[in-house]
Amino acid sequence: MKIIEKIPELQRALTHARQTHKSIGLVPTMGALHAGHLALVQRAVTENDVAVVSVFVNPSQFNDKNDLKNYPRTPDADCKLLEEAGANIVFMPAVDEMYPEPDTRQFAFGALETVMEGQFRPGHFNGVAQIVSRLLTIVNPDRAYFGEKDFQQLTIIRDLVKQLNFNVDIVACPIVREADGLAMSSRNARLNPAERQAAVNISKTLNASVVRHCLVGFKPQSPVSETKSWVIKQINAVPELRVEYFDIVDGHTLQSIQEWSDTTFPVGCIAVFDGDVRLIDVVFYLA
């Protein structure tokens, strides 16, 4: 496994791969790797001749300076895990390498970016678009791998790829969960024992809401609003937890649905503060 810090060196390595007709898979990450990331890497390794993993904590997507400062950074452990997972190249650039000049580009994703994460983290998706477009331009992969936990990000990246005509397949990978159901996240490492115990209530409640929906779904117009308020109430009843938002949206447009019949792809998206750690999760309802 090669560890590369400079763009020209990465491009030299990839030019050689292309000339020998090798397929390239890219897994963009911000490091502090866990089993969720490794599932993406394993898929990239299986589906491509060359698997490139970028490890870069992208400052332009953090609207909160403290969040950027506290974001876990574990480069040595990351490299060890990536070597074991079979990655071929780890790209670990410094901030100056990715942004020699400030990136002033403004992307527009319409209604996709004004809801949920976009509403509570202004500028976040513009920063994601800046770094992902740079990585796709530099690496020019055949496939790029993203987790479904960041469901809104995934939808916006698909839109970005369409807008900029990148010739890449965006591969969505299922959420990887701890044994008790908590969605894996680099932020879980910041939970104290009480918060970690409380966190399980997020996925537990989302799953219970799917079961409830199935049960009440036999009624002609089972209310979406009732499911939403039930989830929020259950989670807010746990002392450590505070729901920032929970919405049930159409999985293509990300807009709230009023009736289950408004969509064939209902998705529940949630952000919860557990102490001061912000966690997100996603649940897919039956249409």
The single residue among 4, 10, 14, 30 that binds ligand PAF, judged by CB under 6 A, is 30
Contact, 25 vs 145, CB < 8 A?
Answer: yes
Please give the Cα distance from 257 to 268 (Å, whole number): 10
**Contact flag: residue 279 with ligand PAF (CB under 6 A):** no
Contacts of 78 (CB under 8 A, 6+ apart): 29, 31, 32, 33, 55, 90
Q: Which of 28, 93 has the CB closer to ligand PAF?
A: 28
Phi, psi dihedrals of residue 92, rounded to the nearest 5°: -125, 75
Give, in order, the Cα–Cα distances in Å from 272 to each of 66, 117, 231, 244, 277: 17, 11, 11, 5, 8
Please give the Cα distance from 90 to 74 (Å, whole number): 14
Please give the Cα distance from 97 to 60 (Å, whole number): 14
Cβ at position 37, least distance to ligand PAF in Å: 8
Cβ at position 30, least distance to ligand PAF in Å: 4
Give, in order, the Cα–Cα distances in Å from 236 to each of 120, 239, 243: 18, 7, 6
Which one of 38-46, 125-133, 169-177, 200-208 is the stretch in contact with ligand PAF (CB under 6 A)? 125-133
Q: Which of 30, 44 has the CB closer to ligand PAF?
A: 30
The single residue among 58, 188, 201, 203 that binds ligand PAF, judged by CB under 6 A, is 58
Residues that bind ligand PAF (rule: CB under 6 A) add up to a total of: 10
Q: Which of 185, 209 has the CB closer to ligand PAF?
A: 185
Q: Where is 250: in which H helix or E strand? A: strand 241-250
Point out the catalytic residue in the list 21, 37, 213, 252.
37
Residues 235-274 interacting with ligand PAF (rule: CB under 6 A): none
The single residue among 39, 116, 128, 283 that binds ligand PAF, judged by CB under 6 A, is 128
Q: Which of 26, 231 has the CB closer to ligand PAF?
A: 26
Report the half-sphere exposure of 2 (CA within 13 A, side-chain side).
Answer: 14
Q: Which of 132, 241 has the CB closer to ligand PAF?
A: 132
Q: How many C-beta atoms lie closer than 10 Å to residue 32's C-beta?
A: 21
Cβ at position 124, least distance to ligand PAF in Å: 8
Residue 124 is among the residues annotated as catalytic for this protein: no
Residues 10-29 interacting with ligand PAF (rule: CB under 6 A): 28-29
Interacting residues with ligand PAF (CB under 6 A): 28-30, 58, 61, 128, 131-132, 150, 153
Residues known to be catalytic: 37
